[in-house]
Chain A
């Protein structure tokens, strides 16, 4: 299926030296050190798998090597020579191919035009359409069959798009190919096909780096495994010397540095939120889940297993396919956020700037946005009532703002998040849905938020906490559900949960403990 020979003439001669190397790379984002003194060496003809928890720094590292991000410090060597990558285009010209996790194809171009984008064959400045599609076809045929280069890209299913993405990177004859979670949108058969492809590239002397969350595929295709944790490289070893358990143990084991409020000791009250065989699109399948009054329930799993669709559907942002949502003792149809709010549900979204706040509005105005009903009489805003409400929450949540009129976008991430919480607490919700409520937030505020969650639960509310931070789930939750490929892989009580067990459930390796 894969034609090794046609591209072989272009392949680099097998050399022991690294094709691409990073030394002491450091990259800091506001509030987080994404990678810290990371070293990586990519060898010709070898497949390096990059593994680690969410947020371990894998994507950041690849983005630096692909020229997308500039490191704060550290050195990048291409064929042993130090080089400053000026941008993705520069990296490509040096033979560094990068297939991003998110799609970069333009839907309104043909498959062939996408593959040859930015290196189209031209004559007198005019693109030679026929030659372009011929060349694109030649590249695509090395990789897969059954995709027509004349097809409009938007007509392709996601798995095919992934193949085209790879063809696009491969068309520039890279010496090294980096793939950021290439299998996340693929079925098992398609993934196997992708691995055949990678093995063929490797046979040509190409160096391959791929990021994956799925340990079975890591062991299926990788020569070497590099484990990252909290921005640092904790191990680089040949895959043959490692077992799955070794890798999991290397990935986890972070120190519990944070103090969490104590869990509840008495059993939770009757379920306030209950899902019965709930399915959402083709992302979530027949989920049964309940959150009792006074309980904090976690929703864990690797990125993109459907947990986000689940909470968004509960708030009426995404439609459900089948199944039942019960709040209190009533079955509800939730088709819009307004209906969710009316049912006593509050939602702290993952991206507070895009969905939680109106950045150009003041702290006060943001806070009352969901509760305008409560601060207006006959449509007119009652300023005194508004001020007193807002002031009460600014004080009780310890929101640090120079004044109530401050535009919310000028506050720190932690204070912005507290504004989002205040906004929802004003509506006195029975059920709180939280999507990564502590992402990008300083440690002190995190602690305050954890304490707040426990306090809210103790008031008899139901809290559903979606988080990719395993320690946060373990520390905060009374119970934890783990989702894998849109289904509940298992649930654990807070006391029995460990990072290892969560990771096992989350990678689809172990059957449920007490599902």
Chain B
């Protein structure tokens, strides 16, 4: 077996050490935590965030960022909330529709970055505002209903594992294979690692970056579908805080700026860590406001960690 894929996965190793330590520690201290019901709940809650972080990972890998993923989630839950009672749109139409919409919107982000040469930060911040506006236009406050049969189907727990969680793992596996075993995946790592070298190697760097944004849009929409099935309703602001979480999960999971290394394996752990911390803080009755502060600190620590590690490795070079 050859490939830096093992190394990219290994970059996520610290997060799993941390994750396991946290699980063991909390599990030992808290009966509530190790309760199977809580663990199922945890897995259930983690799934949408994990998929959203996967979307973020793909764009960070190619040297970009997508700040519109959270708003995409909000909009998707809102669209799907018209599939329940007095459905204006059938669920079998709505789900493919939002996925196609997600991919298409990702393409717009990608074209802005690649063709118009806009900074991804600005481009996706602007598109985030557009998505947010659409969501609020369709539904000013949380409400509506997701087709119950669909929500039930995703709420199944074969062998006790929540359906959404299983879907998330499937998506991670697919993206991991794409990144590890295909030409496109190689190109993504190369583009994020060194744009000029990639161009000089004859790789279609614009195409590759565009594709990453399309994939991110698609995955963000999928995350919205998972979340909608869990909350059963549409909420035009539910995704707001998830953009930060997605960036944090990717970076904590070992896919640092400015791209070219890391990947889905670590991101999954990063999402798990954030979910568990949220779960534990909830059980300890820590207010959501403090949770924001704690997440911010975790993100900052991860950035510092990678900054110093990068410096060390570049020293080793010289």
Whether A390 is near chain B, meaning CB under 8 Å from some CB there, is: yes
| Number of chain A residues whose Cβ lies closer than 8 Å to a Cβ of chain B | 41
Whether B41 is near chain A, meaning CB under 8 Å from some CB there, is: no
Whether B34 is near chain A, meaning CB under 8 Å from some CB there, is: no
Cβ < 8 Å to A, chain B residues 192-244 = 193-194, 196-204
Give the chain B neighbours of A501 by CB distance below 8 A: none
Give the chain A neighbours of B2 by CB distance below 8 A: 362, 364, 383, 386-387, 390, 404-405
B164 to chain A, nearest CB (A): 29
A111 to chain B, nearest CB (A): 28
Interface residues of B (CB under 8 A from A): 1-4, 6-7, 181-187, 189-190, 193-194, 196-204, 260-261, 313-314, 316-318
Tell whether, in the assembled complex, residue A359 and residue B194 are in contact, meaning their CB atoms are under 8 Å apart. Answer: yes
Q: Return the CB mask of A348-384 against B: 1 if under 8 Å, else 0.
A: 0100001111111110110011101100100111010
A255 to chain B, nearest CB (A): 29
Tell whether, in the assembled complex, residue A315 and residue B200 are in contact, meaning their CB atoms are under 8 Å apart. Answer: yes
Q: How far is the CA of A347 from the CA of B187 in the complex (A)?
A: 19
Q: How far is the CA of A423 from the CA of B201 in the complex (A)?
A: 9
Known: A357-B197, A358-B197. A372 touches B6 (CB 8 A): no
Whether A134 is near chain B, meaning CB under 8 Å from some CB there, is: no
Tell whether, in the assembled complex, residue B316 and residue A376 are in contact, meaning their CB atoms are under 8 Å apart. Answer: no
Whether A24 is near chain B, meaning CB under 8 Å from some CB there, is: no
A281 to chain B, nearest CB (A): 19
> What are 10 contact pairs spanning A and B, CB under 8 A?
A317-B200, A356-B197, A358-B190, A359-B317, A361-B190, A361-B260, A362-B3, A364-B3, A364-B4, A365-B190
Q: How far is the CA of A409 from the CA of B315 in the complex (A)?
A: 11
Tell whether, in the assembled complex, residue A365 and residue B186 are in contact, meaning their CB atoms are under 8 Å apart. Answer: yes
Give the chain B neighbours of A342 by CB distance below 8 A: 202
Q: How far is the CA of A364 from the CA of B148 in the complex (A)?
A: 50
Give the chain B neighbours of A365 by CB distance below 8 A: 3-4, 186, 189-190
Tell whether, in the assembled complex, residue B7 and residue A407 are in contact, meaning their CB atoms are under 8 Å apart. Answer: yes
Interface SS majority for chain B = helix
Tell whether, in the assembled complex, residue A372 and residue B197 are in contact, meaning their CB atoms are under 8 Å apart. Answer: no
Give the chain A neighbours of B199 by CB distance below 8 A: 336-337
Nearest residue (CB) in B for A373 is B183
Give the chain B neighbours of A362 by CB distance below 8 A: 2-4, 7
Residue from B6, B194, B200, B201 having most chain A Cβ neighbours under 10 A: B200
Interface residues of A (CB under 8 A from B): 30, 315, 317, 336-338, 340-342, 347, 349, 354-362, 364-365, 368-370, 372-373, 376, 379-381, 383, 386-387, 390, 404-405, 407, 409-410, 423
B181 to chain A, nearest CB (A): 5
Tell whether, in the assembled complex, residue B3 and residue A359 are in contact, meaning their CB atoms are under 8 Å apart. Answer: no
Nearest residue (CB) in A for B314 is A409
Q: How far is the CA of A55 from the CA of B196 in the complex (A)?
A: 26
Nearest residue (CB) in B for A368 is B186
Known: A361-B193, A365-B4. A355 touches B183 (CB 8 A): no
Nearest residue (CB) in A for B204 is A338
Residue from B187, B199, B202 having most chain A Cβ neighbours under 10 A: B202
Q: How far is the CA of A297 from the CA of B316 in the complex (A)?
A: 36
Tell whether, in the assembled complex, residue B202 and residue A338 are in contact, meaning their CB atoms are under 8 Å apart. Answer: yes
Q: How far is the CA of A386 from the CA of B2 in the complex (A)?
A: 9
Nearest residue (CB) in B for A358 is B193
Tell whether, in the assembled complex, residue B200 and residue A347 are in contact, meaning their CB atoms are under 8 Å apart. Answer: yes
Tell whether, in the assembled complex, residue A355 and residue B202 are in contact, meaning their CB atoms are under 8 Å apart. Answer: no
B73 to chain A, nearest CB (A): 30
Known: A359-B194, A369-B190. A379 touches B202 (CB 8 A): no
Q: How far is the CA of A337 from the CA of B196 in the complex (A)?
A: 10
Known: A354-B194, A372-B183, A383-B2. A30 touches B318 (CB 8 A): yes
Q: How far is the CA of A365 from the CA of B190 in the complex (A)?
A: 9
